[in-house]
């Protein structure tokens, strides 16, 4: 999408990110492990802590902006333990419905891969996606992710269950 800026979010963007993700949990409950009920009660400081303005953060979030409007976002969580510090997990990819199909999802994933690479120590990024989400599976496939297994009954939603496909790709 022309004129859309992808950038790292800072704690000042926490309220925008919170609003975006509460919309995501409400509109696409089958796509996320987090639920609206679980997340809407959390304080703004919890959201701000996902995007700390420090050199080697435990988590970061990137957003797609059209002017001041946040159209989409996705984040990375970095493993901290000595023997798993080479791994990162991609979380919370969401693009608002009117902005879909214009490459923002792909740009967000590519920006996160760039952020992971530039840390120097990250060798792979992993994520999970609902087996019932062909759009997201196709997007991650185009971004170089490959499946390494499916977790049966990973999420319980209402009276049913959703399997989660685990994907990974190397970076660097």
Ligand X SMILES: CC(C)(COP(=O)(O)OP(=O)(O)OC[C@H]1O[C@@H](n2cnc3c(N)ncnc32)[C@H](O)[C@@H]1OP(=O)(O)O)[C@@H](O)C(=O)NCCC(=O)NCCS
In the complex, which residues of this chain contact ligand X (CB under 6 A)? 24, 28, 31, 93-95, 100-106, 129, 133, 135-136, 138-139
24 or 155: CB nearest ligand X: 24
CB atoms within 10 A of CB 36: 16
CB 104, CB 93: distance < 8 Å: no
Q: Nearest to ligand X by Cβ — which residue?
A: 105
User: Least distance (Å) from ligand X to the CB of residue 147?
Assistant: 13
User: Least distance (Å) from ligand X to the CB of residue 54?
Assistant: 26
Q: What three-state secondary structure class fits 32?
A: coil
User: Least distance (Å) from ligand X to the CB of residue 114?
Assistant: 16
Could you tell me how many helices (H) and strands (E) the chain has, helices first? 5, 7
78 or 140: CB nearest ligand X: 140
User: Least distance (Å) from ligand X to the CB of residue 137?
Assistant: 8
**17 phi and psi angles, rounded to 5 deg:** -65, -40
User: Least distance (Å) from ligand X to the CB of residue 83?
Assistant: 27
- Of 163, 158, 166, nearest in space to 29 by CA: 158
CB atoms within 10 A of CB 13: 20
- 126: tokens are 């992993």
51 or 127: CB nearest ligand X: 127
Distances (CA, A) of 141 to 1, 31, 93, 106, 168: 21, 17, 14, 10, 10
């Amino acid at each position: 999408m022309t004129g859309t800026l992808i950038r790292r979010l800072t704690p000042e963007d926490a309220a925008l990110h919170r609003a975006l993700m509460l919309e995501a949990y409400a509109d696409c409950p089958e796509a996320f492990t987090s639920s609206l009920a679980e997340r809407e009660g959390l304080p703004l400081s919890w959201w701000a802590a996902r995007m700390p303005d420090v050199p080697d953060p435990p988590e970061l979030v990137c957003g797609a902006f059209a002017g001041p409007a946040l159209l989409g976002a996705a984040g990375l969580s970095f493993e901290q333990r000595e023997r798993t510090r080479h791994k990162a997990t991609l979380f919370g990819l969401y693009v608002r419905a009117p902005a879909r199909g214009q490459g923002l999802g792909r740009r967000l994933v590519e920006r996160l891969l760039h952020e992971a690479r530039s840390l120097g120590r990250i060798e792979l990024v992993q994520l999970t996606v609902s087996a019932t989400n062909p759009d997201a599976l196709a997007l991650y496939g185009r971004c170089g992710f490959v499946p390494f297994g499916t977790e049966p009954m990973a999420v319980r939603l209402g009276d049913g269950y959703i399997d989660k496909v685990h994907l990974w790709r190397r970076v660097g």
